[in-house]
Amino acid sequence: MPKVLIPTPLRQFTAKQDSVTVPGATVGEVLAALTTEYPDLRKQIFNDEGKLRSFVNVYLNDEDIRYLGKDATPAADADTLSLVPSIAGGAHGERPGGKH
């Protein structure tokens, strides 16, 4: 079964596990199995229409699925999926070197 790496902010929804293995032949099937096993995770990674949230990036073996087959990308037992929430922000004010 493919392994899914769970980022720290989402581990509260997977009983604090940093990775889980779930069945699936495609990325979409793996994510569906993941959110079936951990239902509280569903609203964190999918929107109300069931689409992957825009700020959640999914990588299959370090390849962004947006540039592969998206949720139809094949997933094998030896594959690793990484969920990577986008983090917005940046410091305002002082820049390195003390200049604005």
* CATH number of the CATH domain containing 81: 3.10.20.30
Q: What is the mean pLDDT of the chain?
A: 89
Question: Which residue is it, tokens 């999926």?
Answer: 81
| Domain contains 95 | no
Contact between 64 and 70 under an 8 Å Cβ cutoff? The reply is no
**Amino acid in the structure at residue 81:** L
| Domain contains 80 | yes
At 15-56, the pLDDT tens digits run 999 999 999 999 999 999 999 999 999 999 999 999 999 889
pTM, full prediction = 0.83
How far apart CA 29 and CA 39 sit, in angstroms, is 15
- Residue 95 pLDDT greater than 80, yes or no: no
Q: Which residues pair with 83 in a beta bridge?
A: 58
Domain that holds residue 21: 3-85
Q: How many domains does the chain have?
A: 1
Of 84, 85, 69, give the one whose Cα is nearest residue 26: 69
